[in-house]
Structure 1
């Protein structure tokens, strides 16, 4: 059974209206991590499928939580690439309904290891307008938006409109001419930046952590490259201990994982 989310989420202030009610299943600590929203077509090309998976996987290895909409296609690949424990799925129906049915196992896994979110009561079935509501929430949660493939006038391009209104950076995969016309238009109009190297792009969120390093609140906080003062205020002496242990470096007042 879903629960009502009571904690305040600053990122959602960018929405037209802060959600009156949010329901969840899973682990709310994922909301504290750096987040990237990934959206795209339900019928991706093989190139997009592979690149989306590799992108989500590279981000998750660096402590980034991938946000998407649990739909078929790009959404499913993004959740799978990140791993159930590194993803937030936002749906357009009540959380007691695992939709689409083909993703029942994936959604069940995210309920157990990740985080499911919805603005709709249990029993509510998805409609055209609820997908639009879902899309806005997906975009709002991410620090940036990545659109891996999209046609003109698609739901993904509607998500782009939300991102532009929220002032979020938009990134896309480079695609061939006459394919993914929506993302190619974004590049042509300079509203998006192309991801030419997945590892280089993912590295802007930090380095891949050593498997022996505990991925706790301190780790995810440092992945955001906070200021030394912010870190000290939040974690006190642990900042000094981590620096002495070589876990972090402090340069020009900025804390980064070593």
Structure 2
């Protein structure tokens, strides 16, 4: 683990630039085009498949996929992009590989990709840390892709960050009864639907 001692321009869009930043891995990835992908911890099969296809396609085009390392959409996006094409932003100190179920994935990203955190060693998974983590995830990406979000969810708070930062937001199209958060964004004209992965 090392302290990041250089400035990351993308994080200037945050409400407040992080006091400290730590990392393990390849910081050159920060210079690449980046897309942040977020969504539910319990995605359905459609969301799992589309998230995997989308992240894999972006990585093949040389785009780095940024996410938060959580179970569900985050982990799918990291895996599909491949460890060397992904940045994970942790909500704990980097001495902890959290969540434990993603330990192997996190180890792979440490070796080939980049893991970042604004929290020093020994920082546990406190609830509010996830909110702070999400702001970094959104800030790093040139755009935000939301593959599934209920209206009252942490993912929708990530959307709020994106709107404040002036980031373009893309979502997957869903049935009326599903992913009501992203459907509302489409209804209000705050997001653009991804209808064709080939057009990306």
Check whether TM > 0.5: yes
Q: Which residue of 1 aligns with 2:65?
A: 66
* Greater RCO (CA < 8 Å, at least 6 residues apart): 2
SS at match of 1:25: strand
**Counterpart mapping for 1:76-225 below 5 A:** 76-201=75-200
Task: For residue 15 of structure 1, report the CA deviation from its aligned partner.
Answer: 0.3
Q: Deviations over 1:176-208 (max 9, x none)?
A: 11100000000000100000011212xxxxxxx
TM-score by length of 2: 0.99
Task: For residue 126 of structure 1, report the CA deviation from its aligned partner.
Answer: 1.1
Question: Structure 2: how far apart are the matches of 1:117 and 1:134?
Answer: 9
SS at match of 2:148: coil
Task: For residue 7 of structure 1, report the CA deviation from its aligned partner.
Answer: 1.2
TM-score by length of 1: 0.77
Alignment of 1:17 with 2:16, yes or no, is yes
The gaps in structure 2 that reach 5 residues or longer are: none
Alignment of 1:57 with 2:56, yes or no, is yes
The gaps in structure 1 that reach 5 residues or longer are: 202-258
Question: Structure 2: how far apart are the matches of 1:192 and 1:10?
Answer: 24
Question: Structure 2: how far apart are the matches of 1:129 and 1:76?
Answer: 20
CA RMSD of aligned residues (A): 0.5
SS at match of 1:47: helix
Question: Structure 2: how far apart are the matches of 1:23 and 1:135?
Answer: 16
